[in-house]
Amino acid sequence: MDDAEIVRRIGELADKEHLLERAHEGESRTPEQVEELRRIEVTLDQCWDLLRQRRARRAAGQDPEEVATRPESVVENYRQ
């Protein structure tokens, strides 16, 4: 997946996240809806992380194709 594809995927996921949030505004969400939103958020974090990895490698003169999507346990535990 190249940078443009990653950015496109981020846009699709963000649109889906916003749609789900607006569809249930003011209502309680089912456990399934909560889980779907969580999965989208994790995937978004993974996509952003992958894009940052690729840009960092490119800036360092390294091959951005040598990076991989990091697992949820990594991207969801970064220190802010």
pLDDT digits (tens, 9 = 90+) for 21-57: 888 788 888 899 899 999 999 999 999 999 999 999 9
Q: What is the pLDDT of residue 80?
A: 54
Residue 15: HSE in the Cβ half-sphere, 13 Å Cα cutoff: 6
Q: What is the pLDDT of residue 77?
A: 87
Non-local CB neighbours of 1 within 8 Å, separated by 6+ positions = 9, 50
Dihedral (C-alpha) 51, 12, 69, 73: value to the nearest 10 degrees?
Answer: 110
Domain parsing of the chain, residue ranges: 3-75
- How many CB atoms neighbour CB 39 within 10 A? 12
Question: What is the reported pTM?
Answer: 0.88
